[in-house]
Structure 1
Amino acid sequence: MSKITFSDLVRVGTYRAGRLLGNTDYTPFIILSRSRSGSNLLNSSLGSHPNVHVKGEHFGHIGQDTIEKRHAQVFGKQPSWIKAAGCKVFYYHPHHGDPAPLFDMLKADPRLKVIHLKREDELRSVLSWMIARENNTYTATSDASVIAADDKRQTVDPDEMIDWIEKTVNWEAWGDTFFSDRETVTVTYEDMTADLPGQFTRVLDYLYLHAHTPQSRLRRQNPEPVEELIANWPEVRDRLHERGFDRFIPA
């Protein structure tokens, strides 16, 4: 856990004071995605912009709150210097509840901008989630905090992996259809990791924000080939082939 500094406290206090006299003259947005698709990288990059207020999985765990209360927290009044405000929203939020009321509420705002973040290699997305689930490690902010390949290597259930791949493909198609009533911008994990400044500029233009150099301390956690991370790769490879997912099998 990072240490909270005095400047952090001042920044939070200034933001809260600014909300008291704030307004709603800003661009609301969501990062629509699933876990392990680069949402932390995009979220932290947006958070480094001086005119953006962005939360994480704000609707992930509602607890005793209502959807309306959570919605007001992120899309209510903002300080005058905030020009865009939003959060990550995964297709299956909230985790313990029906996503329909949340998405109906989001869609009801015609101003809402949707950054649809996808990972072209859905297998890597699912595998990354399985590794994070096993090790309870979802981010890395230094090279030293990246888990060694041998410690990440695991035996996976091929059917579970393929089930999650299919769910992800269907979620992405659903997101495109559900928000087809507005102009969205699609960003991929692969494009971000290849050219973060260029993709970040696309996002800023979409949100009507001035140029800014993205800043993020996050490190890539699983760069190794899939056959090094999956202990039973031959079994998984054969099952992928049987189910028509040859595109995930390295040549």
Structure 2
Amino acid sequence: MQMQNLALNLGIKKSGTDYGRFIILGRSRVGSNLLRSLLNAHSRIEAYGEIFRNREAMDWDHLNALQSDRMHQMMLHDPVSFLDEKVFRSYPVETAAVGFKIFYYHAREGSWAPVWPYLLGQTELRVIHIKRRNILKTHLSRKRAEITDSWVNTTGAPEKPVSVALDYEECLADFVRTRAWEEEADAQFADHPLLQLAYEDLARDYAGEMGRVFDFLGVAYEAVRPSIHKQSRQTLAEAITNYDELRQQFAGTPWAEFFNET
């Protein structure tokens, strides 16, 4: 990839910016890693990671991405130029779509605050809004990941079952907060090309759902396979030690459906 970038800079290899721009919008533990791995399996798509998650390092989460201290400083202090010059730069002419992940709560303060006005002003920017219908599973997944420090399974090896107790008030706050984030994002990007994608559908039928995604991005269909694997196969009742108590507490509320696994 470094040789390819050098060839692009020297004009040896044809390049351009005539490709579609996109973002993967969501929150943690809703399947964005699965989606990004499938996008990167396509020969004409470049999908970067959570580049505005960590100020201490450049989280391209992409094996072929170049990094330097100068680039890091640009990301920290001039994020709009960073996006224009380093993310949405010239690529080989065969590249059809380029994008990155950003979560609702990323780039909200300080020098990164201009990121959101920039994205909202890019009216041709395609937005893949990935959600998880069952927010309880999102909350559980995050809690388990924090305990195990295992955020993604790249080997396919079975992971040790982990059961946790969940606090009612924490669950409720996360349900309300996540739904508010989702609704606000849909409203903000209503004038953009916007694709709604559910993790449950993607996990069940990634070939069919990726067909929708590729159509949305304007790229030809390719059969792709994910490079990551499902981390847990426990039921909610197995994974949550106080499952019955929680289910009773949420009975009769708008969140009761999260306890139905059928």
TM-score (norm 2): 0.83
- Distance 1:99-1:92 versus aligned 2 partners, 3 A rule: farther
Residue type of the alignment partner of 1:101: P
Distance 1:192 1:226 in 2: 20
Q: How does 1:114-193 map to 2 (within 5 A)?
A: 114-144=127-157, 146-149=158-161, 152-193=162-203
**C-alpha displacement at 1:97, in angstroms?**
5.4
2:43 maps to 1:50: yes
The RMSD of aligned alpha carbons is 2.1
Match of 2:22 among 19, 24, 29: 29
Which stretches in structure 2 are left out of the alignment for 5+ residues?
57-72
**C-alpha displacement at 1:69, in angstroms?**
4.2
Aligned to 1:61: 54
Are the equivalent residues in 2 in contact too, given 1:61–1:96 (CA < 8 A)? no
Residue type of the alignment partner of 2:119: L
**C-alpha displacement at 1:239, in angstroms?**
2.7
**C-alpha displacement at 1:104, in angstroms?**
1.0
Distance 1:209 1:15 in 2: 22
Distance 2:113 2:247 in 1: 35
Return 58-67 or 32-41, whichever deviates more.
Answer: 58-67
Return 216-225 or 14-23, whichever deviates more.
Answer: 14-23
2:261 maps to 1:245: no
Residue type of the alignment partner of 2:115: L
Distance 1:156 1:92 in 2: 23
Distance 1:172 1:223 in 2: 26
SS of 1:191's equivalent in the other structure is helix
Which stretches in structure 1 are left out of the alignment for 5+ residues?
1-11
**C-alpha displacement at 1:99, in angstroms?**
7.1
**C-alpha displacement at 1:183, in angstroms?**
2.5
Aligned to 2:63: none
SS of 1:117's equivalent in the other structure is strand
